[in-house]
């Protein structure tokens, strides 16, 4: 890459201090060349996304310089960045639902001032150049995440993007879709498009990147090029977290009695359609049962039925022999729940300590809430779970996603339980804390708790589970024991064949 | 950081309100500077007005603030107050021994209305704004009708019979007030003590009890609350019941502790329910904030009495001025309350 004299984009000495005094970036230098895939690697909260949002003009740096084609630029907003050929594709795609793919593309391009005919021509050229097949008439909400992402990329490139920023691009994709994305990135490289690949997944870096810049706590700790000796998962992990986390794995001790029983369960979704179709399984004390599957195959409804929030059409859920008809039943029987979406668990208007107390005192019949209890809950979160927050009365909404997750997971683990239902429990956590939470789960199981782990992170499911059930179209497509569960076999089951 | 900003915004909206009030005074031909001054200091001449209206507004303000956290716009404080006043009066006239049964009757009448509104919304999805506005009118005319046909005083037919002495809420005699006795020669009504106790109790419930924490949590994240076994529907209904109780209590206090009668036009009762909404908005739905805003409002009412005397401003203009001030302050406070939610989506993380 260094053969080219001048980088397409160069950022020098970028500093970002947020209004609450948090220094997100501390003098970061970053550059990217044409035809280069440059991974930006770091834990959650390391400053990756902040750096790229500055480049994209969404937020302003406190100080520092951005050069595009060697010329100094100053963005007033993303539109300026887009005009200079910089585009961002977010984790949660920003397409207009209710419109078709073509309408989405045309709306975007016409907002850039392109006439309709020219816009169409450009889209066709991009699609053809990359050898993609895109169904222009499909309504966007009908498309799977992988296809939506391709639409986003086509959208950006037709708008004249020379640099694509992909923010955690595989977080919503199935393994197969991720494969397709890597291939597409390869083509982009051939066409001379520069790609910034924001991620915390080491395997992907090693797979797609030409060069990687590692950020830790707002500083660049290393730049490594493909082919140099540090370009491997172990070394990059060490750079990213400062230590390589120990993998956890479930203990293989004799299992206890049946804790969770799900019998012939049928559950309807919000729209009335049957989303869970005759699911039966049990989880015993000391066992971790993983549920793998592409999101949207009934997992959400299954979980809601298990915790008693959604009444089943047929069948039942029992925790320790007690029928679950309401969330109260679930918690009183010894259940614990970590939902997949923090927004479904925390109250943004309440403080860190109040959120923790709400979770900690689930189903408690106590009446008084002493400020000293709030303070001690907070202290425990800080000491035992490495929570970083201003103080007990800091609003939980001002915390980073990882710290919010620590509040949720921490408070639930402090409460104690006999059955844990966890959906993506390490989502948004930095590597060290994610490893810590996985260890907690394993320890809980070895103390005799039953764990039902629903995760879109296949590695996590495989690492922690004694058995893995695959959910597909509302049914359990198969259950594999730890030894037989490989990503390939799971992939086949996930596909529903 | 947040607290000082908050305080600045409160002061700024008060200043803006007073400035606009000054403009209204100038429009009426009075000197705006001295007029606003009198408006702000006039309460020393009418401390009773300040004390009574602040107490009543605290209750009706809470009657708006408490269900608002659960997403209910209780516009019905007005009607719930009428119902409370009427129920209290009827009981006091028929069982004139102590004020307690009449107080309970007022509380219960308002609470029953609140429960009805809450049930209608939760079970049948009837919009509470609609139901409360319609109930306000129904209750206004029902109260007026009852006053005229059943309760009127043979001597003063536009008034009801008076609450007999034993059923009145006693006043604190002037002699027990020490240095304040000069300001309150008739003594101090007990109403403010009751209101203050209610406000503190509301604060204690919200911020020092577990059910209070669940109530605040459920108001901001219903899904999370439900998924943790909180009965959100029940809290909703209870919040409306509590609101009705407080507005009903306000009506009972007015009748048992201040006016002792109701007039056929309900002029001694009307307005408190609606103005409580302003107090709730300015007080940011915090019980103690609502009380503080109510004291400010009470001061304005007292001042607007004084301004008629001192600046020869007609009563109507005085009402316009206080109305305008409250409007501006409430609008700015409301904006401040709503704006962060609107901006929240674009917040940087």
Segment B101-132, tens digit of pLDDT: 999 999 999 999 999 999 999 999 999 999 99
Beta-sheet strand order (sheet of A219-225) = A86-89, A163-167, A194-199, A37-41, A211-216, A219-225
Judging contacts by C-beta atoms under 8 Å, the chain B residues touching residue A361 are 210, 213
Query: A85-99, B50-64, B140-154: which range is least confident on average?
Result: A85-99
- Give yes or no for residue B86 having a pLDDT over 60: yes
Contacts of B227 in chain A (CB under 8 A): 304, 307, 309, 327, 337, 339, 344-345
State whether A344 and B214 contact (CB < 8 Å).
no
Of A93, A80, A105, nearest to A157 (Cα)?
A105
Identical fold for domains A9-241 and A258-494, yes or no, is yes
Interface membership of A242 toward B (CB under 8 Å): no
**Do A344 and B221 make contact, defined as CB atoms within 8 angstroms?**
yes
Whether B347 has a pLDDT exceeding 50, the answer reads no
- pLDDT at position B345, please? 36
Q: What is the pLDDT of residue A134?
A: 84
B341 touches chain A (CB under 8 A): no
Contact indicator for B190, B48 with CB cutoff of 8 Å: no
Q: Looking at CA atoms only, how far is residue A478 from chain B in angstroms?
A: 28
Contact A358 B217 (CB under 8 A): yes
Give the pLDDT band of residue B99 (cuts 50, 70, 90): very high
The per-residue pLDDT for A230 is: 83
Q: Residue B226: its chain A contacts at CB < 8 A?
A: 309, 327
Contact A394, A345 (CB under 8 A): no
CA-CA distance, B10 to A230, in Å (whole number)? 58
Residue A349, min C-alpha distance to chain B (Å): 7
Nearest chain B Cα distance for residue A347, angstroms: 6
The answer to whether A286 and A257 are in contact (CB under 8 A) is no
- What is the third-level CATH fold of A9-241? Rossmann fold (3.40.50)
- What pLDDT is attached to residue B338? 53
How large is the average pLDDT for residues B39-49?
90
- Record: contact B229-A331, CB cut-off 8 A: yes
- Considering only the beta carbons, identify the residue of A18, A348, A368 that sits closest to B210: A368
CA of B218 vs chain A CAs: smallest distance (Å) = 8
> Which residues in chain A are closer than 8 Å to B1, comparing Cβ atoms?
20
* Phi, psi for A262 (deg, rounded to 5): -115, 125
Contact B213 A354 (CB under 8 A): yes
**B216 and A CB contact within 8 Å:** yes
Q: What is the pLDDT of residue A4?
A: 57
Q: What is the pLDDT of residue B346?
A: 36
- Mean pLDDT of chain B, nearest integer: 88
Structure tokens at B9: 């915004």
% of chain B surpassing 70 pLDDT: 93
List the single range of A188-197, B67-76, B156-165, B321-330 with lowest mean pLDDT.
Answer: B321-330
The answer, for B229 touching chain A at a CB cutoff of 8 Å, is yes
Q: Which of A62, A44, A26, A22 is nearest to A390 (CA)?
A: A22
Q: Which residues of chain A have pLDDT under 70?
A: 1-4, 19-22, 44, 241-253, 428, 495-497
**A-chain residues within 8 Å CB-CB of B224?**
339, 344-347
A258-494 to CATH, choices 3.90.420.10, 1.10.510.10, 3.40.50.150, 3.40.50.300: 3.40.50.300
Q: Supply the pLDDT for residue A22.
A: 67
Given a contact cutoff of 8 angstroms between Cβ atoms, the answer to whether B257 and B249 are in contact is: no
Whether residues A327 and B226 touch (CB distance < 8 A) is answered with: yes
User: CA of A323 to nearest chain B CA: how many angstroms apart?
Assistant: 15
CA distance A307 to chain B (A): 7
Residue in B closest to A324 by C-alpha: B229
pLDDT above 90 for B65:
yes
Chain B residues whose beta carbon lies within 8 Å of the beta carbon of residue A331? 228-229
A276 in Cβ contact with A305 (< 8 Å): yes
Q: A-chain residues within 8 Å CB-CB of B220?
A: 347-350
Question: What pLDDT, on a 0 to 100 scale, did the predictor assign at position A483?
Answer: 82
pLDDT at res. B4: 67
Of B207, B210, B227, the CB nearest to A344: B227
Maximum distance among all Cα pairs of chain A, rounded to whole angstroms? 70
For chain A, the structural domain boundaries read 9-241, 258-494
Would you say the C-alpha torsion B285, B289, B290, B293 has a positive or negative sign?
negative
* B228 touching A (Cβ < 8 Å): yes
Query: Roughly what angle, to the nearest 10 degrees, separates helices B77-94 and B272-282?
Result: 130
Among candidates B224, B347, B348 on the partner chain, residue whose Cβ is nearest the Cβ of A346:
B224
Contact A441, A454 (CB under 8 A): no
In this structure, of A409-418, B6-15, B161-170, B309-318, the range with the lowest mean pLDDT score is B6-15
pLDDT at A252: 64
Q: What is the mean pLDDT of residues B189-210?
A: 95
The size of the A-B interface in CB pairs under 8 A is 83
Nearest CA of chain B to the CA of A20: how many Å?
A: 9
């Amino acid at each position: 890459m260094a053969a080219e004299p001048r980088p397409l984009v160069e950022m020098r000495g970028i500093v970002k201090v947020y209004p609450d005094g948090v220094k997100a970036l501390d003098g970061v230098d970053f550059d990217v060349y044409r035809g280069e895939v440059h991974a930006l690697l770091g834990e959650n909260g390391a400053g990756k996304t902040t750096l790229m949002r500055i480049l994209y003009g969404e937020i302003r740096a406190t100080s520092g310089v951005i050069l595009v084609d060697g010329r100094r630029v100053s963005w007033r907003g993303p539109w300026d960045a887009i005009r200079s050929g910089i585009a961002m594709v977010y984790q949660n795609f920003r397409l207009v639902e209710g419109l078709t793919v073509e309408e989405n593309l045309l709306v975007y391009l016409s907002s850039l001032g392109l006439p309709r005919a020219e816009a169409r021509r450009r889209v066709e050229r991009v699609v053809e150049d990359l050898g993609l097949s895109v169904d222009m008439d499909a309504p966007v909400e009908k498309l799977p995440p992988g296809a939506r992402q391709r639409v986003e990329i086509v959208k950006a490139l037709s708008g004249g993007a020379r640099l694509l920023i992909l923010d955690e691009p595989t977080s919503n994709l199935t393994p197969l879709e991720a494969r397709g994305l890597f291939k597409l990135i390869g083509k982009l490289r051939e066409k001379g498009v520069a790609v910034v690949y924001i991620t915390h997944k080491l395997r992907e870096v090693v797979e797609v990147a030409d060069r990687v810049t590692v950020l830790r706590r707002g500083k660049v700790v290393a730049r490594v090029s493909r082919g140099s000796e540090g370009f491997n998962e172990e070394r990059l992990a060490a750079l990213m977290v400062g230590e390589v986390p120990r993998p956890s794995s479930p203990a293989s001790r004799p299992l206890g009695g049946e804790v969770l029983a799900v019998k012939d369960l049928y559950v309807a979704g919000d729209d009335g359609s049957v989303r869970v179709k005759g699911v039966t399984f049990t989880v015993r004390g000391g066992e971790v049962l993983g549920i793998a599957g592409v999101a949207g195959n009934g997992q959400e409804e299954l979980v809601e039925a298990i915790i008693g929030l959604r009444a089943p059409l047929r069948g039942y859920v029992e925790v320790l022999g007690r029928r679950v008809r309401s969330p109260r039943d679930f918690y009183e029987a010894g259940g614990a729940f970590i939902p997949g979406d923090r927004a479904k668990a925390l109250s943004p208007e309440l403080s860190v300590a109040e959120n923790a107390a709400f979770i900690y005192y689930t189903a408690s019949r106590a009446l008084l809430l002493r400020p000293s209890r709030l303070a001690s809950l907070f202290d425990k979160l800080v000491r035992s779970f490495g929570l970083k927050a201003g103080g007990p009365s800091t609003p939980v909404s001002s915390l980073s996603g990882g710290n919010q997750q620590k509040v949720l997971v921490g408070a639930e683990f402090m409460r104690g339980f006999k059955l844990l239902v966890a959906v993506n429990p390490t989502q948004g956590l930095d590597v060290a804390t994610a490893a810590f939470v996985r260890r907690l789960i394993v320890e809980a199981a070895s103390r005799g708790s039953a764990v039902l782990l629903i995760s879109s992170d296949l590695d996590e499911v495989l690492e922690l589970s004694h058995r893995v059930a695959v959910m597909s179209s509302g049914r359990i497509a198969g259950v594999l024991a730890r030894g037989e569960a490989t990503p390939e076999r799971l992939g086949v089951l996930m596909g529903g064949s | 950081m947040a607290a000082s900003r908050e305080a600045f915004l409160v002061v700024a909206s008060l200043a803006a309100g007073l400035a606009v009030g000054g403009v209204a005074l100038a429009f009426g031909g009075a000197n705006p500077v001295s007029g606003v001054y009198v408006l702000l200091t006039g309460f020393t001449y009418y401390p009773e007005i300040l004390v009574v209206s602040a107490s009543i507004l605290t209750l009706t303000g809470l009657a708006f603030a408490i269900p608002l956290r659960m997403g209910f716009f209780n516009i019905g404080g007005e009607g719930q107050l009428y119902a409370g006043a009427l129920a209290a009066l009827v009981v006091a006239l028929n069982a004139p021994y102590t004020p307690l049964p009449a107080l309970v009757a007022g509380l219960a009448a308002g609470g029953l209305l609140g429960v009805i509104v809450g049930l209608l919304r939760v079970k049948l999805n009837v919009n509470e704004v609609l139901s409360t506005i319609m109930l306000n009118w129904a209750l206004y005319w029902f109260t007026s009708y009852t006053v005229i046909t059943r309760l009127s005083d043979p001597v003063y037919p536009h008034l009801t019979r008076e609450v007999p002495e034993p059923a009145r809420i006693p006043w604190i005699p002037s002699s027990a007030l020490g240095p304040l006795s000069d300001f309150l020669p008739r003594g101090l009504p007990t109403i403010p003590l009751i209101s203050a106790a209610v406000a503190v109790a509301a604060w204690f419930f919200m911020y020092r009890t577990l059910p209070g924490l669940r109530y605040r949590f459920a108001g901001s994240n219903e899904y999370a609350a439900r998924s943790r076994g909180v009965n959100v529907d029940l809290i909703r209904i209870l919040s409306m019941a509590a609101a009705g109780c407080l507005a009903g209590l306000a009506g009972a206090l007015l009748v048992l502790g201040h006016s002792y009668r109701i007039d056929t036009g309900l002029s001694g009762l009307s307005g408190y329910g609606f103005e409580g909404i302003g107090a709730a908005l300015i007080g940011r739905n915090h019980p103690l904030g609502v009380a503080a805003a109510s004291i400010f409002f009470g001061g304005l009412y007292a001042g607007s009495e004084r301004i008629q005397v001192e600046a020869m401003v007609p009563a109507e203009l005085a009402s316009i001025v206080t109305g305008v001030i409250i409007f501006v302050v409430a609008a700015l406070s409301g904006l401040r309350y709503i704006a962060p939610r609107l901006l929240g989506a674009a917040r940087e993380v």
